[in-house]
Amino acid sequence: MVSQSKIDQAARLLHPAKHPSALTGAGVSKESGIPTFRDALDGLWARFNPQELATPFAFLQNPKLVWDFYEYRRQLMRPAKPNPGHRALAELERIFGGLPIITQNIDALHEDAGSAQVIALHGKIAVNKCFYNCQGDPTPVDVSKIAYDQNDGPPPCPHCGRKMVRPAVVWFGEMLPPAALAAARAVLHTTDVMLVIGTSGIVQPAASMPLLAQDSGAALIEVNPYESELTDRVDLWLDGPSGEVLPRLVAAVKKLRGNAG
Ligand code: BJW
């Protein structure tokens, strides 16, 4: 368990922030029952490497396999609810009057928890689009309005008829949505304290974002039970699960705010 003195140290770093922010990864949703991206898959998917499925190349080579992989993960994510970590971030937004969250997660749980300033770098799993973005980028497709056989893999695009519909997430080798990237960059230039929560710090460009914020003068507080690629660079590492650490951080910040009148 993270010591109270470390939580208090983090609260003292965060309390004076004028523009706090967060970068989140799959770890923040782990306590909602969603496996992290690099957790081993189980059941039928145990022999697959998610990194090899999350590419446009894999989709074009075997659309049904990749579509089924995302259907499986949709089923895992659909019943998931925000956990105390998501809710603590929404509460920090209220306390500070703003807290942009740059998230790599595709589950929309920050929004469900009530956070209003969420920048989704890697898209949303609940949304589908035309692989070719035939009506402009993106071309969303509501598959609930298409008659198709679930066992046949992805349906054709209802606009252009070409194969095929795909999840509106960002795969390896693809550009991030330009609006999300621009919004994230604006945060990196202004933030004075960034919480880096539940990310392995492996995937670019998200992994470089805390370091860019640091170059602009931000302090970095990491929340992750295990060491990440970023741990050596942060100002403070709270080595526990975000669902436990973040509510304690909120309580400690509230105490300081109370003391500050
Ligand atoms: C807890 C916890 C608890 C556990 N509490 N924590 C520069 C150098 C080298 C390569 C590149 C580069 N620039 C770009 C690239 C290529 C590539 C890349 O980064 N490759 C790396 C593998 C090296 N990047 C891209 O292709 C990106 N596009 C791009 O840059 O375009 C321009 C370009 C293209 C090509 C060449 C050059 C430039 C796009 C990246 C898209 C990533 N998409 C995915 C899939 C999304 C859909 C899906 O989910 O299926 O996004 S990959 C996957 O990784 C997913 C995640 O959002 C992302 C990050 O993972 P995350 O969130 O960190 O999860 P994990 O599982 O890795 O870690 C979980 C963490 O939680 C762990 O640390 C645990 O300890 C912790 N944890 N329990 C708190 N309770």
Tens digit of each residue's pLDDT (9 = 90 or more) over 122-168: 999 999 999 999 999 999 999 999 988 888 899 999 999 988 999 99
CA-wise closest residue to 63 among 215, 209, 167, 188: 167
98 and 40 both lie in a single domain = no
What do you get for the CA distance between the two ends of the chain, in Å? 30
* Annotated active-site residue in 86, 122, 159, 189: 122
Pocket-testing residue among 37, 48, 49, 73, ligand 1, by greatest number of atoms within 8 A of Cβ:
37
Q: Which residues contact 52 (CB under 8 A, 6 or more apart)?
A: 58
CB atoms within 10 A of CB 240: 18
How do beta strands 165-169 and 123-130 pair? antiparallel
Write down the pLDDT at residue 162.
Answer: 87
182 and 202 both lie in a single domain = yes
Q: Where a domain ends, among 134, 169, 204?
A: 169
183 and 235 both lie in a single domain = yes
Within 105-203, residue ranges assigned H as helices are 109-113, 178-190
DSSP-assigned letter for residue 26: T
Residue 69: give its domain's CATH number: 3.30.1600.10
Q: 21 alpha carbon to ligand 1 midpoint, in Å?
A: 19
193 and 247 both lie in a single domain = yes
User: What is the C-alpha separation between 37 and 17, in angstroms, rounded?
Assistant: 31
Write down the pLDDT at residue 260.
Answer: 64
User: What is the C-alpha separation between 77 and 89, in angstroms, rounded?
Assistant: 20
Q: Which domain holds residue 194?
A: 1-33+81-122+176-261
Q: How many domains does the chain have?
A: 2
User: What is the C-alpha separation between 171 and 188, in angstroms, rounded?
Assistant: 23
156 and 234 both lie in a single domain = no
Nearest CA to ligand 1 atom 70: 199
Q: Considering the entire predicted model, what is its pTM?
A: 0.96
* Number of helices (H), then strands (E), in the chain: 10, 9
116 and 163 both lie in a single domain = no
For the chain, which ranges sit under pLDDT 50? 261
